[in-house]
Structure 1
Amino acid sequence: MVKLDRLITILGTYGARLAGPSADREVALHSVALHDPVRPGTPVGDVFLAVGVPSAAEAVRLARAAQAAVVVVRTTETPEPGLLRDAEGPAVLVVEPSVSWSQVAGAVYGMVLEGRETESGRGPADLSALADTIAAAVGGPVTIEDQLSRVMAYSSHQHEADPARQDTILGRRVPDRVRDLFERQGVFTHLARSDEALFVPASPAHGLHGRSVAAVRAGRELLGSLWVSRTEPLDPGQARILTDGARTVALHLLRGRVSADLERQVESELVIQLLEGDADSGTVAAKLGLPASGLRVVALQAHTGTERNAGLLLAFERATTGFGWSRVGRSTLFGNTVYTVLPAVEAEPAFGWVRRLVAGLPAHLRVVAGISGDGEVADLPAARRESDECLALHERLGDGDAVCYDESWHEVLLQRLRSAATSGRVPARGPVARLAGHDAQHGTEYVPTLRAWLESQGDLNRAAEALAVHQNTVRNRLRRMGSAVPALDLDDATQRLAMLIALAVLD
């Protein structure tokens, strides 16, 4: 069941706005009526789409005749206040003419007619009700799982429920010990190749009383699996019910995917506009439900041990699980990176968001992330560059949940200077490069000595401690450096700063 509040929220991402006084947002919406200017008469429905209606006044009149709770009108005009004062009249949602009716109608029909949503916050309603129906038909508890063995729905029927099922439901995922058992028994290989039901025998050591399973597949794509707990194999009739039920589950999941993809597409396009700074950032942020300030950008990539960015789509799907109003961030997949705009004045909420996302991904994925500093909506293009720079640092450093600009600004600055320094020829031919060449040719240790002396701000004792030598050794090396490279001027403060940058380039 969809309520008016949700319709207003989702259509808001298309630029729709509620005109007039606050409506009762708890009104349930069950049907849609579409105005047909050719055929006489007004259809009846809770949501009235005023397609082709020239004015808001005419749209409201038709919506009253349709007994609608809300009317959607596509116009640039502001409805007259007199139209909006009637408490018994429909709520009025005004959509900009730049938004096509096909977009609006697709979103409305998808939400209202698909009804209740799944536990992930998306798509068609009754996976749990479907699980109950299948459980009653085959005589055993049912779970519906995705391709990563995460629970999407389960039946309320608990007869013959075993410890493995209880752990699966509580943990929202098949326990690793049970999943490893299925892997050894070839269950997942069977699911990848066949649509026939398979019986998995009991394993008391794993808390398993027995299972029958069928693949949930759309074409050649494996979407998940349908499981029933039974101590004995299903008879042919029950096996057919299980495989037919798996096909029905696949249809539910495909409709959910269409709904999810529609919302993801709209959200992605708006987030890209914010990150590229080529639109009215305040208006775009309002459409996404984001505040005007206190925003950070998180840049994220996901790799496997053998392939870069292999987990990128999984990361994007995880970042966008749930309808917009139920998520803290707004995300897009741009190139080989997932970007998410988060309301987070302090850094810790952003770190927490990354940790939660990683926890929901397969353990074999290696996730790297960069977090920008906080700023206003207009600062998001710069924040995106900061997140990219922090992401590059995380790739290089490879530790922690993520690299945040607040803590690593100095590393980011040095990285920028390294990039600038390597773009010209002077650092490659300067004093530091010549000292490095002298060390390589003659076995001297001028470069580490120079680094220790500069980092200790000219303190011979500290430099000597860092090098584990006597301070006279440091003094003698500094003197010989001047003879080996006459251009080296340790008394010039600007040269000392430039040499620190040049040494950073050598790292």
Structure 2
Amino acid sequence: MEENPFWGSGNLENLADNLRDMLHCPVTIEDVNHRLLSYSSHDSHTDPARINTIIQRRVPEKVINRLWQEGIILKLMQGEEPVRIDGIEDIGLGNRVAVSIRKNNEVIGYIWVVDEEARLSDEQLKLLKMAADSARSELLQIHARKKKKQEGYQDFLWQLLSGRFTTREAVEEKFRQLNLEIPASYAAVVFKFKEDISNKIEQRIGYILKTNQHVSVSFFVVVQREIILIVSPYMNKQTLAEKEVSRFIHFFTEEMEEKFNAQNILGASGSVYEELNKAVKSYQEAQEVIRLIERFPSELKGVSSYPELGILRYLDVIFEKKSKEGYEHPAIEKLVKYDKQNKTNLLETLEVYINNDSNVNDAAKVLHVHMNTLNYRIKRIAAITDINLKNTNEKMSLYLDLKLKRLEESTRL
């Protein structure tokens, strides 16, 4: 068996330097989530992708996405042999050779070599494989340390979400004990899958979370079909904007579908807070968004945050009052009776019309009818119910009562 010249390198920094000396090419070593672990020196002619990776301590998102699109990451994940990569000029990537670092069939990291002249020989590719074999033990130690730390983080997350901390000072003390940076602002985020999350899916989730460059993920935990996260501002940003959280939610669901074919994931966030002891409130708000999206998918299409719920945030309170009073909107009762007797769907027409802010064109598209047909139905509804659909208060009352009716029907199921 050929002796591995990289045994005894000591650490990943020495390994990267030793490999560079043997291959005469710049080297970087990354974990499975494309975070930079070590890198060798390079001359002044290296490409922008390498420079940005070293500065950011991770591979830029646009580079990761392009490598996925080109099938390069998938090829590295599926095989043990080094992969030659032609330069991709528009993302600043020169010629590369890469190899995965593996433990059995699991990829735990990568070694990337800048091969400017595409000249690495078969013997040099063997050296690259040996370097990957040597790097395995060091990466496994790093992984074990991270896993132990992550377990402590998850305990802390559950303490936050259960409301164990009542003061900001108590939370800050725990942050200091765990050597964590205290975020200036944060939000709880929940992703709900259609099925229980397997270990394989959890690994893919971790990959997407750690390669995202929209928010910093302070903590995350998997519970059956849900992922619960605390997110904070990305890198050096001081405050977390709700639009950034929404972009992250969209990014996550899109990446999971495109890269791993995980479909129909619901994502939601609570409000952004500065007070750390309000994590439980943000988490409860995110859960409320998920619950309402499941009950009102058309009305809340595109909604992902608690503030975006609008008046539907108060639906449960209004529902409770309605249940105590036994009130039924007379216009809705008349339309239910009329539809039943005449086999029409005027109540549905009314709800779609109000949902679309009385826009005849938009409502007609949803109902798949001509605008003239819809205008006739609206006049018929007004005649049957004696309501004024130009009156904001009447429309708002009808909107709420229609939602309450659907909420009541769903609770009977």
User: Does 2:254 match 1:369?
Assistant: no
The C-alpha deviation readout for 1:439-492, integer Å capped at 9, x for no partner, is 15513455257759999xxxxxxxxx9962498744531269xxxxxxxxxxx9
Q: Amino acid of the residue matched to residue 200 of structure 1?
A: R
* Aligned mates of 1:204, 1:386 — CA distance in 2: 43
1:388 counterpart = 2:388: no
2:296 matches 1:408: no
**Residues 147 and 389 (structure 1), Cα distance of their counterparts in 2 relative to 1, 3 Å cut:** same
Match in the other structure for 1:476: 383
In structure 1, how many angstroms separate the alpha carbons of the residues matched to 2:285 and 2:88?
53
RMSD of equivalent CA atoms: 5.7
Does residue 436 of structure 1 match 2:336? yes
**Cα deviations across residues 322-374 of structure 1 (Å, max 9, x unaligned)?**
xxxxx97642315112231659xx99534425646876894726672322364
**Equivalent residue, structure 2, for 1:352:** 244
Instruction: Quote the Cα distance in structure 2 between the aligned partners of 1:209 and 1:293.
Output: 37
Map of 1:102 onto structure 2: none
* Worse-matched range after superposition: 271-280 or 215-224: 271-280
Cα deviation digits, residues 193-233 of structure 1 (max 9, x gap): 43xx4363767999987554432002321123323326234
In the TM superposition, residue 264 of structure 1 has moved relative to its aligned partner by 1.9
Sort the Cα spacing of 1:472 and 1:159 in 2 relative to 1 into closer, same or farther, 3 A: closer
Compared CA separation, residues 219 and 329, structure 1 to 2 (3 A): closer
Q: Which amino acid aligns with 1:370?
A: S
Cα distance in 1 for residues equivalent to 2:280 and 2:183: 14
Task: Check 1:252–1:138 CA distance in 2 against 1; reply closer, same or farther (3 A cut).
Answer: same
Q: Which residue of 2 aligns with 1:248?
A: 134
Q: Is 1:262 equivalent to 2:148 in the alignment?
A: yes
Among the aligned pairs, what percent are the same residue?
20
Alpha-carbon contact 1:135-1:141 (below 8 Å) kept: yes
The match for 1:69 is: none
Match of 2:163 in 1: 277
Aligned match for 2:188, one of 298, 303, 309: 298
Residue matched to 2:228: 338
> Is the Cα contact below 8 Å between 2:217 and 2:229 reproduced in 1?
no
SS in 2 for 1:134: helix
Q: Residue 300 of structure 1: SS of its match in structure 2?
A: strand
What is the letter of the counterpart of residue 384 of structure 2?
R
The residue type paired with residue 385 of structure 1 is Q
**Are 2:27 and 2:39, in contact at CA under 8 Å, matched by a contact in 1?**
yes
Q: Specify the SS of the correspondent of 1:223.
A: strand
Query: Structure 2 residue aligned with 1:286, among 173, 184, 190?
Result: 173
Q: Distance in 1 between matches of 2:112 and 2:95?
A: 10
- List alignment gaps of at least 5 residues for structure 2: 1-9, 260-264, 356-371, 388-393
Instruction: Specify the alignment match of 2:84 in structure 1.
Output: 200
Residue 234 (structure 1) aligned with residue 134 (structure 2): no
| 8 Å CA contact retained: 2:189, 2:269 | yes
Compared with structure 1, are the counterparts of its residues 349 and 383 closer, same or farther at alpha carbon in structure 2 (3 Å cutoff)? same
Q: What letter is aligned with 1:198?
A: P
Task: List per-residue Cα deviations over 1:256-290 (Å, max 9, x = no partner).
Answer: 22222222221221221121124555524431259
**Structure 1 406/499 Cα, relative in aligned 2: closer, same or farther at 3 Å?**
closer
* Count of aligned positions: 350
**Cα distance change, pair 338–178 in 1 and its aligned pair in 2 (3 A):** closer
1:65-108 residue CA offsets vs partner (Å, 9 max, x unmatched)? xxxxxxxxxxxxxxxxxxxxxxxxxxxxxxxxxxxxxxxxxxxx
Alignment check: 8 A CA contact 2:171 2:277 kept: no
The Cα of 1:131 is off from its aligned counterpart by 2.0
C-alpha distance in structure 2 between counterparts of 1:246 and 1:218, whole Å: 10
* Superposition pairs of residues 137-156 of structure 1, within 5 angstroms: 137-147=22-32, 153-156=38-41
What is the CA–CA distance in structure 1 between the aligned matches of 2:268 and 2:16, rounded to whole Å? Answer: 38
Distance 2:284 2:79 in 1: 45
> What's the CA shift for 1:246?
0.7
- In the TM superposition, what whole-angstrom CA distance separates every residue of 1:21-62 from its partner, at most 9, and x where no partner exists? xxxxxxxxxxxxxxxxxxxxxxxxxxxxxxxxxxxxxxxxxx
Equivalent positions of 1:32-51 (< 5 A) are none
The answer to whether 1:223 aligns with 2:130 is: no
Distance in 2, Cα, partners of 1:204 & 1:376: 45
Instruction: Measure the CA separation in 2 of the matches of 1:148 and 1:367.
Output: 23
Is the alpha carbon distance of 1:333 and 1:354 closer, same or farther for their aligned partners in structure 2, counting shifts above 3 Å?
A: farther
- Partner of 1:245, secondary structure, is helix
With over 3 angstroms needed to count, the CA separation of the structure-2 counterparts of 1:291 and 1:379, relative to structure 1, is farther
Cα distance between partner residues in 1 of 2:239 and 2:53? 34
Structure number with bigger Rg: 1
Q: Which amino acid aligns with 1:411?
A: L
Give distance in 1, aligned partners of 2:251 and 2:398: 46
Q: Read off the aligned partner of 1:139 and give its amino acid letter.
A: H
Report the alpha carbon displacement of residue 249 of structure 1 after superposing the two structures with TM. 2.5
Q: What is the CA distance between 1:388 and its match in structure 2?
A: 1.0
Distance change (3 Å), C-alpha of 1:375 and 1:405: farther
Q: Distance in 1 between matches of 2:182 and 2:17?
A: 45
- 1:444-463 superposed matches below 5 A: 444-447=344-347
- The 8 Å contact of residues 272 and 332 in structure 1, kept in 2 or not, is answered as no
Contact preservation (8 Å) 1:209, 1:231: no
Aligned partner letter, 1:250 = R
Normalised TM-score (structure 1): 0.51
Write the letter of the residue equivalent to 1:299. Answer: V
For residues 421 and 319 of structure 1, the distance between their equivalents in structure 2, rounded to whole angstroms, comes to 42
The alignment partner of 1:414 has SS state of: helix
SS in 1 for 2:269: strand
CA distance in 1, matches of 2:66, 2:286: 38
The match for 1:35 is none
1:120 alignment counterpart: none
SS in 2 for 1:277: coil
Q: Which has the higher contact order (CA 8 A, sep 6+)?
A: 2
| Residue of structure 1 in register with 2:361 after alignment | none
Task: Show the counterpart of 1:172.
Answer: 60
